[in-house]
Structure 1
Amino acid sequence: MSYFQKFTGALAALCLLSGAGAGWADEAKPPVATSLGYSERMLDRQEDVSGKVGIALRARQTGEIGMLTFGGRLFATIIAERTNTAGKFPILSRLPPTHTSGTSDVYSVVNEATVHATLALPLVTAFAQAEYTEVEYPGQDALQLRKYWVAFGDLDRSPFYLAVGRKTVNFGNFATYAPFTHSHSNHYFWAQSKDPVIEVGYLGKNTDLAFTLIPGHRGLRVVDSPDNDGDYENYALNLAHRLDLTGGMQLQLGGGYLRGTIYDSAIAHHPPSAGTARVWNGAYNLNATLSGDRYDLMAEFTKTTGIWPATGHKVSALTLQGRYRSELFGKPATYSLSLSRGVQGAKGTAWEKMDQAVLGLEVDMSKHLKIGVEYMFNDGFVPLIMPKAVGDAGVQSHTLIIGAKLTF
């Protein structure tokens, strides 16, 4: 029996045990329903990257979701790329197998077809997300049960919660205002677990705090530890605090620490469980977001605490970005500019850094459909696999992306 069958079976059993959802606060909410706003946040990979448990618990508290809430998203793009160096294209939020060996390429891809389900019982909230993608990492299945977790807590009774499952590790912010492409901050440090983690958190009026215990294994992204023994010796701490300012503005300040990252080995890709000398190499994160009625401005910086043995240098990422909400031909539209830099080598080396600038526009064509377009410029080419062997500071590339997101 697969993990998905086991998890959905458990959801069904919990539904039967709960009767008709006794104890649910919003009696007018249908027991089985969809919620567009909730789906957009829970399935979002650009802005709401971490903190999904908090989104679900707050949606439960406000009555945005009922006892059983379903949703889904279809996200597809057409990508046109041109580079001044054959075979070297930008790879942020895409993978090398999608590129050609020439200097230009045009291709279409289904980034994801995703479904999710959330079950809300007294004191228990369970979530599962399954997805199909054409940009899976080599060796992964195109169809995956990407996330599954259970949270214990009720914000009407207490601001504290406990969550257990496979999920994004609550570390950093890593929002990217561009419609489709990730920033260097996201690409370098977005931490995803492969095995279930244990998260204890606090969700106050203006403060979110989370502590996560992570098993000692190579995660799906960024998470790693010197010994792949499964012991819960890796951990993350994350804090976000919101300040209400004059004129309806709000300032959010955040910070976090992750004890074990992939930047811990001389082998710059998925280190094996034996045969390499690895040490703990953590990362710290600082972020700030200033928001008004129509705009957001954000800065984020993340850096490893030690050098990456593969490059002999600490790894860092900086993102500066802004967006403005307006209209285009009578439709709600968001204009964005995202600038980011990733650094992993000493000054003057071919693998020193990468720079990226993304101009974006996303238009709400209807309640469920968003159409977006991006122009992206990349300076430098440094994949995080064998960076010293293939890094090339002279690469410059231009990319145009047109895409659509259909959500329910």
Structure 2
Amino acid sequence: MYKLLFCLLTVSTIGFTQSEDIKKEPQKAFVGINSRLSYLMLDPNQNLRKELILLEERQAHPSKDKMLTIGTSILAIGDYQKSNVNSKFGYLMRHPTTSNQIGYEVSEAVLHSWHFSVMGQLNSWITTCVELLYNPEQSFGSGTITSIERNQIQLRKGFVLLGDLNKSPFYFSLGKMDGPFGQMGTVSPFTNSTTWHAFATLGYGAQLGFKTKNFNAAIMAVQGGSQFRALNSSVAGTNVPSRINNGIADVNYSFNFNDNNKLKIGGSYVLGCAYCHSFPVEHFGDCADSNPAYSVYGQYFIKDRLRIQGSYTKTVNVWPGTHNPIPPLDVFAAAKVSAMDLGAKYDFKLDKTEDIVYSISGEFSNFLAGDAGSDWEFQNQYILGFAGLVNESSRIFVEFFRTEGFVPLNFVSGGNMGPGETISDRSAKSHGIVIGAMVTF
């Protein structure tokens, strides 16, 4: 797969014209920077349908063939948060491990993440995209945020996209990409919704889509096993990703009532999500059976200024590992997993001539993982944000947050502690503030 990506990028960079006359001058290639497009592609939480961003960009702004667009984005933050329970912070924008969160208070000033992208346009219907990511704050590596295991640069996404909406409504993408499951984008300037943390998908696969002005449908065949994010499916009872045995389907439609009001509704289904492990739960471990999930979502736009959105996502079957068979926790039955979010965002300018668009946003999202009354029953998140978007490519923001409940996926119902004990804690509450900037070129 990676050889294919690099070959396509090399072709788009060199760009020789095929001809029987080898003495002809090679066709020139173009290398450039498009900060607005790079911002849309590298933004980690607002609009995650990156294939559609590329397709719509080419449709609205047809560019020269053999074009290489390079972009980079740095996200730096300073934050303070406080919990009522020692070392149990429910805020998921920091990986919730005791090695990174000690005591009742945490404060830091860090480089949260760095992105680098290369987008190659071979012609009007062949595009490639590669994204590199450095994110010690949310890495699943061991140790603290200064440990080598957490300070790695990874190829976060890499895919080939075939399609030209000016000529055909069909498109096809192949590689490592976000799956078209649910509405995982948020209205908040920095914090991903709890729905994203619970169900957002990323994996190796092939996606086929059909898009018109108001309608979009997509299906994606996914390589199974224990995937990068939320696409676990059993491969002969193991977590070895050796078969294409998982899949996603999504469909959505937009109703344009007039020039000022638009409603989009949609639904998705995935054959295997993250919640299939038996007790004790070890994340990314093997599953005996896959657990499907579905999602319904909607967005309402008013005058391109106000956006109201919400979604509800739930597993089809119970998560076996949410039942602890050891007394006294055995009284809690296994439960289905669900997540929901509801948010609104209002954009405005203080001066029509300035290049800054301000926004105020608020969002509630939650994660329900356990039987009523269990310590792993819920985790709620409230976000209030204020941001300024400069030149359509850089965002400066401040957020206030509150969480209720502490439900890490690893050993969610116990199994790594004594009988009757679990790391989850329904009484845990935390609150804090985040200031930061995402600067993109």
Q: Same fold (TM over 0.5)?
A: yes
Measure, in 1, the Cα distance between the counterparts of 2:3 and 2:170. 30
Tell me the number of residue pairs that the alignment of Structure 1 and Structure 2 aligns.
Answer: 391
Q: Which residue of 1 aligns with 2:221?
A: 213
The answer to whether the Cα contact below 8 Å between 2:5 and 2:128 also exists between their aligned partners in 1 is no
> Partners of 2:306 and 2:76 in 1: how far apart?
26
CA contact under 8 A between 2:199 and 2:274: conserved in structure 1? Answer: no
Pairing 1:83-232 to 2, within 5 Å after superposition = 83-97=83-97, 99-122=100-123, 123-135=125-137, 136-138=139-141, 142-193=152-203, 196-227=204-235, 228=240, 230-232=242-244
Q: More deviation in 207-216 or 153-162?
A: 153-162
C-alpha deviation, 1:296, in angstroms: 0.4
Shift of 1:383: 1.1
Which residue of 428, 438, 441 corresponds with 1:395? 428
* 1:5-404 equivalences in 2 (<5 Å): 7-17=5-15, 19=17, 31-49=30-48, 51-63=49-61, 66=64, 67-97=67-97, 99-122=100-123, 123-135=125-137, 136-138=139-141, 142-193=152-203, 196-227=204-235, 228=240, 230-246=242-258, 248-266=260-278, 267-273=280-286, 278-293=288-303, 294-311=305-322, 312-327=334-349, 331-365=356-390, 368-388=393-413, 389-404=422-437
Indicate if the aligned counterparts of 1:91 and 1:383 stay in contact, CA closer than 8 A: no
Contact 1:264 1:309 in 2 (8 A): yes
CA RMSD of aligned residues (A): 2.1
Q: Alpha-carbon deviation of 1:371?
A: 1.0
CA distance in 2, matches of 1:64, 1:77: 36
8 Å contact kept, 1:38–1:64: no
Higher mean displacement: 297-306 or 359-368: 359-368
184-193 or 99-108, which deviates more: 99-108
Partners of 2:241 and 2:3 in 1: how far apart? Answer: 27
4+ runs deviating over 3 angstroms:
3-10, 14-20, 327-331, 365-369
- 1:184–1:319 CA contact under 8 A, matched in 2: yes
Contact 2:264/2:300 (<8 A) preserved:
yes
The amino acid that maps onto 2:36 is G
Identity, in percent, stands at 27
Q: Return the offset for 1:99.
A: 3.4
Q: Whose radius of gyration is greater, 1 or 2? A: 2
- Residue pair 1:111, 1:134 contacting (<8 A) in 2 also: yes
* Residue 24 of structure 1: aligned partner: none
Cα distance in 2, alignment partners of residues 203 and 225 from structure 1: 28
- Is contact 2:81–2:105 with CA below 8 Å preserved after alignment? yes
Q: 1:62 to 1:384 in 2, by over 3 A?
A: same
Aligned to 1:25: none
Aligned-pair CA distance for 1:10: 3.7
In 2, Cα distance between the equivalents of 1:52 and 1:364?
Answer: 20
Quick one: distance in 2 between partners of 1:121 and 1:399? 46
1:261 and 1:151 map into 2 onto residues whose CA distance is: 25
Deviation at 1:243, TM superposition (A): 0.7
Secondary structure, counterpart of 2:202 in structure 1: coil
Tell me the secondary structure at the aligned position of residue 244 of structure 2. coil
TM-score by length of 2: 0.84
